[in-house]
């Protein structure tokens, strides 16, 4: 499986701050998903993006798929402690590809 590079690998911020997580690859993806995983649990699907340039919003989370469908970003506005978790991107190219993960910690 090819690798999706996520950055940053770890992010610790205070409540109310904004942040962006990036997911990059040299491969073109037919679709890309973002998940959030809390400790001791399975990942939960947040969003799927399919079209290059697509932007999707989920409350305070904004997801963007790159025009060339090789990268994606997740922007969180006014982060809350409940946003804490491991954020994973996965994409479908010739095979499923997995992100290296971004661990987010939001403190009061």
Partner 1 sequence: GAVVSQHPSRVICKSGTSVKIECRSLDFQATTMFWYRQFPKQSLMLMATSNEGSKATYEQGVEKDKFLINHASLTLSTLTVTSAHPEDSSFYICSAVSGGVYEQFFGPGTRLTVL
- Under the rule (CB under 8 A), what is the footprint of partner 1? 1, 30-31, 33, 35, 40-45, 48, 50, 86, 88, 90, 92, 96, 98-101, 103
Which residue is associated with the tokens 């499923």?
96
By beta-carbon proximity to partner 1, the closer residue of 15 and 41 is 41
Residue with smaller CB distance to partner 1, 4 or 76: 4
Residue placing its CB nearer to partner 1 in the complex, 24 or 48: 48
Q: From the CB of 54, what's the least distance to partner 1, in Å?
A: 12
List all residues 6 or more positions away from 42 whose beta carbon is below 8 Å from its beta carbon: none
Q: CB of residue 78 vs partner 1: minimum separation in angstroms?
A: 26
Partners of 57 in the β-ladder: 62
Residue whose CB is less far from partner 1, 9 or 77: 9
Smallest gap from residue 7 Cβ to partner 1 (A): 13
* Residues 67-85: b if buried by 16+ CB within 10 A, e if exposed: eebbbbbbbbeebeeebbb
> Rounded to an integer, what is the distance from CA 73 to the centroid of its chain?
6
Shortest distance, position 69 Cβ to partner 1, whole Å? 13
């Amino acid at each position: 499986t090819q690798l999706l590079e996520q950055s940053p690998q770890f992010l610790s911020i205070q409540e109310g701050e904004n942040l962006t997580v990036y997911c990059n690859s040299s491969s073109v993806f037919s679709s890309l998903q973002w998940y959030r995983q809390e400790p001791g649990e399975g990942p939960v699907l947040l969003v799927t993006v399919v079209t290059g340039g697509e932007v999707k919003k989920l409350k305070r989370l904004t997801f963007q798929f790159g025009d060339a469908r090789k990268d994606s970003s997740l922007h969180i506005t006014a982060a809350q402690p409940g946003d804490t978790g491991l954020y994973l991107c996965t994409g479908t190219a010739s095979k499923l590809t997995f992100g290296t993960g971004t661990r987010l910690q939001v403190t009061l």
